[in-house]
Structure 1
Amino acid sequence: MADWIYQGIDARGRLFTGPIEAADADEAAHRLQQQGLLTTRLVPHTQAGGTSPVRHHGRRRIDRATLLAFTDALSGLLRAGLTIEQSLTVALTLSLPPAAHLLIADARHDVRAGISLSESLAQVDGIPTHYVSLVHNGELTGDLGAMLARLQKAIARSAEIRAGILNAAIYPALLVVVMLLSLLFLFIDVVPRFAAMFARSSIRLPAATRALLAVATFLHRNMMGLSSGVLASIILLMGAWRSPGGRASLERLVLHIPALGPIIVSLELGRVFRTMAALLAAGIPLTQALTNIWALPGPGTLRSMLHTWHERLVAGESPAQSVASLPLLPAFVRQFIAMGNETGRMDDVLSALADRLEHDTDRAIHRALSLVEPAAILVMGLIVGAVVVSILAAVFALNTVHIST
């Protein structure tokens, strides 16, 4: 067992330092976690005098919530007048998610080693290129606190939109699931009981009843096969989504769906233009801003459009000319960009454009989701009504036979 020297923080923000025995760094960090400590520094005992600690952020991908917590904490401390190293040290004592503490600890170590914050963040998987560019620009201008505040606002707005969409979709999704389960129960359990009753009679059932019983019998006998087919289809779609060619094909298919495609395009364009506005406000040229943005995750068609826009700007076209024939861009978007080019306030115009796109998208999503509830109720009512009418038709036929006999 090797000796390690650790530095860690407990749940109350207190700093602890000492030795621990473990076979490797992972085991040492795991033991410290069991003791309620968040590891911020961990080095072999023989190297404790001056080597670099084990870095943690290379082992995991930073998610949006972690990046938001990191940005929010650091921007406030920097604007309060603290240096970068002081801000990172104080941020370690704040109540933040564990992943954010690890990111802060690694960044502080790099800063103490003479590495800039932007260079440190560039090594972290999950931090976008435009984020690193803005941090670097803030370091050069000496206004890193304001730059991080702008990033925090953009990330928080994006998270707010996602949360709003998710919250609005929960009830319609539950309603659709309950409707499907109810109809499934109706066809594989309730209807077959009537089928057994009708089978004991020798009359010819109405056509609607025969069709209903045929559907119920098919579902009852082939439920396992149908379930396996649905599961296999989901697995195939997930596999296609992970492959570049399959993902591009699925994206094109989704973007051509009449109701869904325009909403996705507006949502992605709003995100792109808000990010671009932040980059331009920081003094980053439009061509470099586009280079940073097309590396963001999103539909391949949109990234291809941004790449084409960049090539036209490099070729000498003005911003207004370069977007004149770009696909996916509505006419009002081209007008906004032309206006920003004429006034010289492209960052403000793009920010206003992002606000409009996000507002229109939010309204369209809520309008579409508000139609799901009545549509689901209507569909379920029609199907249940058809089932009831079909069964009653058979019952009336049986009664007619009994009365006549």
Structure 2
Amino acid sequence: MIYKYKALSSDGKELRGQIDASDKSHAALKIRDLGYRPVKISEANILNKDIVLFSKAFNDKNLHIFLYQLYILLKSKIPIDQAISLLKDSYSNKRQKIIADIHKEIISGENLSKSLDASGSFPKLVTNMVEVGENSSNLPEVLNNLSKFYKNKVIFEQKIKNALIYPIILILVTFLILNFLVFNILPSFEEVFRDSSMQLPFLTRILLGFSRFIRDNFFIVSSIFIAIILALLVYFNSNKGKSFIERLKLKFDLYRIFLISNFVNMMRFLLKSNLTTARAIEIIADSNENESLNKDLQKVRQDIYEGLSLSESLKSSKIFSDFDISMIKTGEESSNILEIMDSISEYYEYKLELKQEKFISYFEPIMILILAVIVGFIVISIAMPMFDLINTI
């Protein structure tokens, strides 16, 4: 859950920002860990949270570039404050301001991880891993691994977006055709039928009545439609709405595969950074936005602390399959968990591509069929009285 906060720094400067926490107490604790004294904490909702009109200041692509630049500078033995100052000059607008604020925090004595966290512009995975790199004196390597992770994430998510382009185009075409018919074609036929004063078939009366109702009440219908959209946005931005959407998405195999693939890639990345399994699970749970997966991972982490292996801990999960658990168990027993994680990642990337192709192969004919039924209904409704009109001439 996201909370907005107002806090005071050690020198009395007022700070405002957002922080991800399970409740207000947890948010206050995390703010104090940053070295600030919380003054006001409130839950961020659609009315009071910071609104981003176009995109986040640092999306995955920006993160890949920023982290790689920082890796190169630190690898070249440039001090962290100078490295951040150099990066500040290579950015503009909002990103430059964020990096400038991070630079101020660093030169005032804060470390990089807390400075990144205080900015509220970086994912928990980044701030957690930077903290790990600082504590292990291996920050450049961690930044390099993070950069590679976000690069692969961008490539992976682009494949998902490419798979959705065609279905979205079909939906838009269907919507535009319906609008063109309702506002341009049907009114012309309505005038012809009205002048003929003939008895129209039932289907034709329904179609023309619907078209007339939409035209005569366009602003009312549009207002109701916009109000419904806004109400849904408010609901889906609430905790209850987000929980509903997450449960709904888990019913789709494509999303579940995407979730597992993302988990495996993160786990592989964290284990390669020499983190313990328990710490890796903790970071993934802290970085992940899916509530159902988070609950599973919190239980997994607790089981690992109690002495169970990762594969045994995952058995209680409703998301991971027997295949996943069996593969991870094989890796644990052979002390070769990283190679097993690589294999699982490759398997799910391949499976995801197959699911994408299958999704498109089903979606395409369904949308074409729906479009054909709509257009066919309109054509038949218009053709029937036209034939009757011709026969009477």
Q: Shorter-normalised TM-score: what interval? A: 0.7 to 0.9
Question: Is this contact kept in 2: 1:268–1:298, CA < 8 A?
Answer: no
Structure 1 unmatched runs, 5+: 1-58
Match of 2:146 in 1: 151
Distance 1:336 1:182 in 2: 50
Query: What SS does the aligned partner of 2:119 have?
Result: coil
Alignment of 1:238-277 (within 5 A): 238-256=233-251, 261-277=252-268
Aligned residues: 340
Aligned-pair identity (%): 26
Question: Is this contact kept in 1: 2:246–2:290, CA < 8 A?
Answer: yes
Equivalent of 2:173 in 170, 178, 181: 178
Distance 2:389 2:100 in 1: 79
Question: Is this contact kept in 2: 1:276–1:347, CA < 8 A?
Answer: no
Query: What SS does the aligned partner of 1:316 have?
Result: coil
What are the Cα deviations for residues 318-357 of structure 1, in whole angstroms up to 9, with x where unaligned? 2121112310112222122212221223344334423433
Distance 1:103 1:201 in 2: 70
Amino acid paired to 1:88: I
For residue 144 of structure 1, report the CA deviation from its aligned partner: 1.8
Match of 2:29 in 1: none
Question: Is this contact kept in 1: 2:101–2:119, CA < 8 A?
Answer: no
Match of 1:74 in 2: 70
Alignment of 1:293-304 (within 5 A): 293-304=284-295
Q: Are 2:307 and 1:316 equivalent residues in the alignment?
A: yes
Alignment of 1:118-129 (within 5 A): 118-129=113-124
For residue 81 of structure 1, report the CA deviation from its aligned partner: 4.1
Distance 1:99 1:82 in 2: 25
Equivalent of 1:231 in 226, 231, 245: 226
Match of 2:282 in 1: 291
Report the TM-score, using the length of structure 2 for normalisation: 0.76
Match of 2:205 in 1: 210
Structure 2 unmatched runs, 5+: 1-49
Match of 1:88 in 2: 84
Distance 2:195 2:124 in 1: 72
Q: Are 2:191 and 1:196 equivalent residues in the alignment?
A: yes
Amino acid paired to 2:215: H
Question: Is this contact kept in 1: 2:113–2:128, CA < 8 A?
Answer: yes
Report the TM-score, using the length of structure 1 for normalisation: 0.74
The 1:80/1:211 distance shift into structure 2, 3 A limit, reads same
Match of 2:378 in 1: 387
Match of 1:37 in 2: none
Question: Is this contact kept in 2: 1:205–1:397, CA < 8 A?
Answer: no
Which has the higher Rg, Structure 1 or Structure 2? 1
The 1:352/1:62 distance shift into structure 2, 3 A limit, reads farther
Amino acid paired to 1:204: Q
| CA RMSD in angstroms, aligned pairs only | 2.9
The 1:336/1:103 distance shift into structure 2, 3 A limit, reads farther
Match of 2:9 in 1: none
Distance 1:136 1:225 in 2: 54
